[in-house]
Amino acid sequence: MRFAFRDRLHLKSPGKSMTLNEYILILGSNIDRENNISRACRLIENMAVIEKKSAVFETPSIKKGLPAFLDQAIVVKTALDLSTIKTELLAIEKQLGRVRTSDAFASRTIDIDIMVHNGSWLVDSKKDLNYPQIVKPLMDLDIGLAYEDGQSLYHHFTSLEKTDIRRIRSDRRTALVTGSAKRVGRALAIAFAKEGFDLILHYNHSKNDIKQVQKIIEQYGQKGHLWQADLGNRDLDVSIIKEQKIDLLINSAASFYDDQVVDNDRQIKEKQWHINFMSPLKLIEQYIHSQKCGHVINILDNAITRNDSPHNHYMMTKKLLGDITKQKAAQHRPQFRVNAIAPGWIMDPVGSSRSHEENKRIIEKKALPRKGDTADLVDTSLFLHKNDYVNGQVIFLDGGRHLS
């Protein structure tokens, strides 16, 4: 039979060579369908490399009267032999709540079947090829797959009884990041573009900087829509939240002035209040009101544990945003997750510059393992977004500094 995929991969290590087996799997679910298909793939990735995925198809249940299924075919490579991978896949099904009964066509949280092993159809899988619901995702992997006696799977598919099979459009994911032009917001916007997100890039005055970020976003094949807005304006228009589906909102823009400045300048004080708290709150509330589900990540400060600081007004805004993080998570779960990161010494204040020796002295004085950087913040943000079982958490990203 003909497959368009690469030959079995040989991994070389000192003194030996490892051969990886190739399998084609069919995943199906008609209970919490999108979630279980996605979770199954993530669990499979713990033991195999997913080389290719078909589109996801909505197919009628083979047994009449049951909810429609979502089905997807995937190609995986792994060192596991056929017997072992069967055992592992059954364990994944059990972990996702599959209860096997004598009814082969009953509803199920997940069904994972091995169709092909190293280029050969499994005997048990051949009977499933009489159902167009199974054949369609396989054809999407490679329309030239051979069925038997040189006949293509496509030709076989045309001989089957016609049924209503609908290709599910893979919606593009979108993230809105405030303060995307510089520093932390810039790093987060680029990181999520690399993860396959289109971006709504918020900025205020930094037009040249945001244009550069937009170019980088587009280099990764993603869209970068520019949103100019002054978060310090009490009349901030947040209607952009209603205009499209947004999967992730990151409130990273911030204003940082010490008390001596804000106490002597009412305008700066009010701007800091709105940029750090009121506008993020307004965005969160509009996001929850407009979207069906989603995730919010608020960027705080590790100093929110302190009660005395030369930046008390700034700290008050971040403390309040931390409280809102937990309150909104509790009020709107499970449709919405709201988490926060409280970074410590990630970047130096704007305009400051320290030598390596000065940094070393600070690290020793504060008992830190090292100075943090934006890569730490990016990794933590990606963890929070990928792990949909985390909600209402504030992660202190400061090497343990908040403990003292």
User: What residue segments make up the domains of the chain, in order of their start?
Assistant: 10-167, 173-403
Structure tokens at 273: 């209040």
| pLDDT at residue 2, as a whole number | 43
The CATH number of the structural domain formed by 10-167 is 3.30.70.560
Residue 330: count of CB within 10 angstroms of its CB: 11
Per residue in 204-222, pLDDT tens?
999 999 999 999 999 999 9
Confidence category of residue 70, pLDDT binned at 50, 70, 90: very high
- Of the candidate CATH numbers 3.40.30.10, 3.10.580.10, 3.40.50.720, 3.50.50.60, the domain formed by 173-403 belongs to 3.40.50.720
| pLDDT at residue 15, as a whole number | 55
Count, residues in the chain? 404
pLDDT for 6 beyond 50: no
Question: Taking all residues of the chain, what is their mean pLDDT, rounded to a whole number?
Answer: 89
In DSSP terms, 152 is beta-bridged to: 146
pLDDT for 3 beyond 60: no
pLDDT for 7 beyond 80: no
| pLDDT at residue 101, as a whole number | 85
| pLDDT at residue 58, as a whole number | 94
What is the percent of the chain with per-residue pLDDT over 90, rounded to a whole number? 64
Confidence category of residue 16, pLDDT binned at 50, 70, 90: low
Per residue in 265-275, pLDDT tens?
999 999 999 99
Rounded Cα gap, residues 92 and 95, in angstroms? 5
| pLDDT at residue 1, as a whole number | 44
pTM for the whole thing? 0.75
Lookup result for tokens 């960027």: 299
User: Can 10-167 and 173-403 be said to share one CATH topology?
Assistant: no
| pLDDT at residue 351, as a whole number | 65
| pLDDT at residue 23, as a whole number | 96
Amino acid code (one letter) for 89: L
Higher pLDDT, 337 or 311: 337
